């Protein structure tokens, strides 16, 4: 598993605490420093089964400056959203946990983190 996190985020710290408490094997990606490419964002969206606007933090100051709330949410606008997430990684919802089975979850709740752990390398 890999967890995309911002160490200043309480939800991210909670997810890491739970992973550690359960003895989960994972790697950390500090996505504000190691910014995902547009291709990596597309791949994670595919694993999540979500669209870029579903993982965009629209309340962030950068989102307000860009006016993302007003952007179209359709296939034609998808590239614009992905480009914005790559250019402004603060806008990416966190934490994102990529599970060993090829899926991913937005780990904002204990249940979501446990779901990712359940998709781990135990053969699930």
Q: Which residues are catalytic?
A: 9
Residue 94 and residue 41 in contact, taking contact as beta carbons nearer than 8 Å: no
Cis status of the peptide bond prior to 75, with omega within 30 of 0: no
């Amino acid at each position: 598993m890999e967890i995309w996190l911002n160490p200043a985020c309480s939800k991210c710290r909670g997810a890491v605490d739970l992973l550690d408490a359960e003895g989960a094997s994972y790697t950390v990606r500090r996505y504000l420093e190691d910014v995902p490419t547009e291709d990596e964002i597309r791949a994670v969206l595919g694993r999540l089964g979500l669209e870029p606007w579903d993982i965009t933090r629209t309340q962030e100051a950068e989102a307000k400056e860009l006016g993302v709330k007003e952007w179209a949410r359709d296939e034609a606008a998808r590239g614009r959203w992905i480009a914005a997430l790559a250019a402004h990684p603060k806008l990416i919802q966190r934490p994102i946990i990529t599970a060993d089975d090829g899926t991913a979850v937005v780990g904002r709740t204990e249940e979501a983190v446990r779901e990712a752990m359940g998709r781990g390398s135990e053969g699930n």
